[in-house]
Amino acid sequence: MNIQSSTKPICLITGGTEGVGKATATDLASRGFNVVIAASNMAKAETVKAEIKKATGAKIDVMAVDLTSLHSVCQLAGTFALRYPRLDVLINNAGIFAPKRVLTSDGFESSFQVNYLSHFLLTHLLLDPLKASEQGRVINLSSSVYTAGKFDDRNLQSENQFSVMGAYAASKLFMLLFSVELAERLRGTNVTSNAVHPGIVRTPMMLRAPGVFKVISYLALPFSIAPQEGAATSVYLASSPTVRQVSGGYFTKCKQTVVKSKFNTKAIRDALWKQTAEPLTRLGLINA
């Protein structure tokens, strides 16, 4: 039974308990969105829920998800579909810096799964609720470090060589390529797909960054922006009528930016899609 049939736009955001995600959730709530925060730490999510409600007066929903578990992602999608009649905006915001190569219980490299694969799966599982919206929007958090990312089908999950920067940059490149390819595959539908670079944002994740990222993060602090500024582009893509029909774009500071990567080709996007979908199809989580 649906617990929410309001005409207010419904937004599901992953990683909405801190940093850019929390700022995005707060801003959208203040604009009249029904915001659903998907988080792994439910105690923290409940605290953030109360904070946003106090600040905006809006009702906030929270749902559990562990992005290191594909089963948990499926449960999130199922719970959402039971509670809500549609999904107007999906913001795939959560991300991690993996200090070393660690496999999840599903057998995938952790940054590959958390930053990319689980969001690929979640998006697929929520396509029907998105299509039930008058105009569904998928917003994927990428980063300008995508330019350092590589698509290497022999090292897709850092099997042969791991570095914190390499794994993180690759995951952000994959999110960007996924956004562009999803837009192509959804052309003709009422669902759009775009990617975002939030900027160099002062977030807990930035300050907890391991290895070379910690050095880079602290050097970048004088040039960094507050989470509220970092959230602006996601909020713009979620709420502005100006981008209602825009799909396949990469946005920085609320403006569409040219993608500069030799890996942004149809052939490579198709290859990445195929290699991403294959294990999910084999596990029966999505259709081929």
Give yes or no: 250 in active site: no
Question: For the chain, first and last CA: distance in Å?
Answer: 29
In this structure, the chain runs to a length of: 288
Tokens of 151: 């698509």
Rounded to the nearest 10 degrees, how much is the dihedral formed by the CA atoms of 76, 82, 85, 89?
Answer: -10
d(CA 72, CA 94): 15
Residue type at 266 in one-letter notation = K
Catalytic residue of the set 116, 146, 168, 250 = 168
- Classify residue 238 by burial, with Cβ atoms within 10 Å: 0-12, 13-18, 19+: buried
CA 19 – CA 206 distance, rounded (Å): 9
CA 218 to chain centre: 24
Helix ranges (H only) for 240-288 are: 266-282
Residues marked active site are found at: 168
